[in-house]
């Protein structure tokens, strides 16, 4: 479709990113999907092209690898350069430990992914927005950006950084007509906790027990709403929790 729109979603192999790619494809958008798990990217690409007849460009790289980010995103094929929306979604928490006991490797992986990866991808995509004279960056933050919770230490810090970077991008890119939105979800049942607890399914299940957490599709629908507002309207900062959650500290659980 000559006039179809293009969205680039990082971390599209699971959770929010996958749901966002599906939601936009279902609305006829062409999608660039990225992640480290190549097989999952391939499967999703087949599903989206087969299901919705849209174009899909799967790009396989680690957002922590600055060289790979620039190689993959710096020279997109000509017919993929008119990107309308970038969703900086790839991210993770690793561990939930006291400050004096947490793993330094986990801290570094979160900082490198959630902060540096977001910066690398943003800078690689900006030239396309600048050439077009418009664009929209949607950064996935967290309620962890708004409040630091016990044993959340560096994960919360990385999401505070996402909030600060979003504000900085909005200010510095204002004259280039680039919208910047930070979406801050609360607890959502994705692979997030399985990753955080390093494959411990029982620990992950405990996080979502006794209440109905957000689902990935909730965030995908909200992202679609945010991305399709009129050109002169920009949602800057959006906190979204399930009804049972008041903030990063308080969730009403039953049973
Ligand atoms: P998932 O674990 O389900 O998905 C995370 C995605 O990020 C995967 O596609 C993964 O792909 C990708 N990713 C992780 N590390 C890297 C990396 N180094 N390079 C490239 N891609 C990477 O989690 P969610 O969907 O829940 O998380 C998405 C975002 O939402 C994260 O930024 C998270 O912090 C945030 N968030 C999550 C909440 C929740 O409760 N679920 C709440 C608030 C915010 P792959 O492994 O294939 O590389
Ligand atoms: C994910 C939500 O509460 O685990 O960012 O920090 S939480």
Residue 1 lies in a domain: no
Q: For residues 137 and 181, is the Cβ–Cβ distance under 8 A? A: yes
Is the reported ipTM for this assembly greater than 0.85? yes
Q: Is the CB of 140 inside a 6 Å radius of any atom of ligand 1?
A: yes
- Cα 10 to averaged position of ligand 1 atoms, centre (Å): 9
Residue 255 lies in a domain: no
Residue 106 lies in a domain: yes
Question: Is this structure's pTM higher than 0.90?
Answer: yes
Q: How many domains does the chain have?
A: 1
- Please give the span between the terminal C-alpha atoms of the chain, in angstroms, as a whole number: 51
| pLDDT tens-digit series, residues 216-244 | 999 999 999 999 999 999 999 999 999 99
Structure tokens at 116: 């540096």
Structure tokens at 177: 């007509």
Closest-lying ligand 2 atom to the alpha carbon of residue 159: 5
Nearest-CA residue for ligand 1 atom 31 is 91
- Residue 211 sits in which domain range? 6-240
- Cα 193 to averaged position of ligand 1 atoms, centre (Å): 10
Cβ neighbours around 145 below 10 Å, total: 24
Nearest-CA residue for ligand 2 atom 4 is 187
What is the reported pLDDT for 157?
A: 98
Of the listed ligands, the closest to the CA of 61 is 1
Four-CA torsion 11, 16, 17, 20, nearest 10 degrees: -170
Closest-lying ligand 2 atom to the alpha carbon of residue 156: 6
What is the reported pLDDT for 255?
A: 85
10 Å CB burial of residue 29 (0-12, 13-18, 19+) is: buried
- Cα 90 to averaged position of ligand 2 atoms, centre (Å): 14
**Residue (of 224, 238, 250, 215) closest to 31 by Cα position:** 224
The angle at the Cα of 31, spanning 113 to 239, to the nearest 5 degrees, equals 55
Residue 248 lies in a domain: no
Does 155 qualify as catalytic in the annotation? yes
Query: What is the total residue count of the chain?
Result: 255
Residue 245 lies in a domain: no
Task: State the catalytic residue, choosing from 52, 128, 155, 208.
Answer: 155
**Pairwise CA distance, residues 157 & 74, whole Å:** 29
Ligand 2 first shell, C-beta below 6 A: 142-144, 152, 187, 192, 248
Residue with tokens 């399930």: 242
Q: CATH code at 224?
A: 3.40.50.720
Residue 252 lies in a domain: no
Residue 219 lies in a domain: yes
Nearest-CA residue for ligand 1 atom 6 is 11
- Cα 174 to averaged position of ligand 1 atoms, centre (Å): 28
Nearest-CA residue for ligand 2 atom 6 is 144
Q: Is the CB of 166 inside a 6 Å radius of any atom of ligand 1?
A: no
Residue 43 lies in a domain: yes
Averaged pLDDT, groups of 10, the chain, 255 residues long: 84 99 98 98 98 98 98 97 99 98 98 99 98 98 98 98 98 98 98 98 98 98 98 98 96 95
- Cα 80 to averaged position of ligand 2 atoms, centre (Å): 33
| pLDDT tens-digit series, residues 43-85 | 999 999 999 999 999 999 999 999 999 999 999 999 999 999 9
Q: Is the CB of 226 inside a 6 Å radius of any atom of ligand 1?
A: no
């Amino acid at each position: 479709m000559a006039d179809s729109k293009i969205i680039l979603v990082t971390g599209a192999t699971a959770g929010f990113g996958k749901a966002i790619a599906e939601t936009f494809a279902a609305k006829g958008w062409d999608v660039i999907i990225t992640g480290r798990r190549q097989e999952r990217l391939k499967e999703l690409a087949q599903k989206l092209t087969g299901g919705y007849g849209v174009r899909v460009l799967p790009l396989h790289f680690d957002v922590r690898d600055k060289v790979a980010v620039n190689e993959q995103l710096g020279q997109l094929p000509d017919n993929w350069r008119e990107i309308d929306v970038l969703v900086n979604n790839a991210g993770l928490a690793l561990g939930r430990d006291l400050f004096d006991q947490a793993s330094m490797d986990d801290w570094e992986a979160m900082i490198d992914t959630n902060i540096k990866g977001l910066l690398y991808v943003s800078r690689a995509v900006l030239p396309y927005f600048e050439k077009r004279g418009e664009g929209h960056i949607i950064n996935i933050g967290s309620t962890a950006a708004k409040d630091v919770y016990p044993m959340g230490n560096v994960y919360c810090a990385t999401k505070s950084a996402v909030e600060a970077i979003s504000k900085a991008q909005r200010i510095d890119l204002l004259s280039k007509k680039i919208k910047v939105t930070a979406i801050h979800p609360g607890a959502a049942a994705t692979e997030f906790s399985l990753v955080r607890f390093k494959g411990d399914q029982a620990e992950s299940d405990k996080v979502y027990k006794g209440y109905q957490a957000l689902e990935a599709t909730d965030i995908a629908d909200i992202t679609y709403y945010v991305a399709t507002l009129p050109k002169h309207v920009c949602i800057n900062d959006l906190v979204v929790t399930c009804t049972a959650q008041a903030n990063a500290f308080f969730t009403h659980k039953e049973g």
